[in-house]
């Protein structure tokens, strides 16, 4: 059933190749996203663990769902390495703060690898400025994720 749905989804968006998984909810989807990104940026985590690797950091809004922090804890990144980005008075992530914190993390010798934007946060229903955040993520070679489980 999943394979058939994935084929239809690819056809719908005009892709000839691609893959996916179905998750039981938004929190586990966020966990999967951080895990896949971690593997892309530090594949040795699978065989050697995180002990001798770089200090990996994740970025998300201070208004984001708690599951991003939980993913940091469960995947060995650590909640202290989930860097919270300021939100404006409407609950939207401030892109300038994101970029400043990415630059600081790099200067501190960290490996920034993941940014999570939110399309409808649980507190205010705010949509982060996804296009601006995506531009920053691409500029700094970070995995871009959008939590749209709202």
Ramachandran quadrant class, 78 (left: phi over 0; alpha: psi -120 to 50; beta: rest): left
Structure tokens at 123: 């507190």
* pLDDT for 19: 82
Give phi and psi for 106, each to the nearest 5: -60, -45
Q: What is the domain partition of the chain in residue ranges? A: 23-147
* pLDDT for 63: 96
141 Cβ contact partners less than 8 Å away, ≥ 6 residues apart: none
* pLDDT for 70: 98
Cα–Cα distances in angstroms (integers) from residue 61 to residues 48, 114, 121, in the given order: 30, 12, 10
- The closest alpha carbon to 102, from 68, 58, 62, belongs to 58
* pLDDT for 75: 96
* pLDDT for 127: 97
* pLDDT for 69: 97
In a structure prediction context, what are the per-residue pLDDT tens digits for the chain, which is 150 residues long? 888 999 999 999 999 988 888 889 999 999 999 999 999 999 999 998 888 889 999 999 999 999 999 999 999 999 999 999 999 999 999 999 999 999 999 999 999 999 999 999 998 999 999 999 999 999 999 999 999 987
Architecture category of domain 23-147 in CATH: 3-Layer(aba) Sandwich (3.40)
* pLDDT for 98: 99
């Amino acid at each position: 059933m999943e394979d058939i749905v994935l084929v239809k989804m690819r056809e719908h968006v005009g892709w000839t190749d691609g893959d996916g998984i179905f998750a039981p909810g938004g929190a586990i989807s966020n966990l999967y996203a951080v895990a896949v990104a971690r593997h892309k940026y530090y594949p040795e985590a699978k065989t050697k663990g995180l002990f001798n690797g770089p200090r990996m950091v994740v970025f998300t809004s201070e208004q984001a769902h708690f599951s991003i922090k939980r993913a940091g804890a469960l995947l060995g990144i650590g909640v202290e390495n989930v860097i919270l980005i300021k939100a404006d008075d409407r609950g939207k992530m401030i892109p300038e703060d994101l970029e400043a914190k990415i630059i600081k993390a790099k200067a501190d010798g960290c490996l920034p690898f993941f940014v999570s934007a939110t399309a409808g946060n649980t507190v205010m229903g705010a949509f982060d400025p996804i296009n601006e955040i995506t531009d920053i993520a691409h500029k700094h070679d970070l995995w871009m994720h959008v939590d749209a489980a709202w």
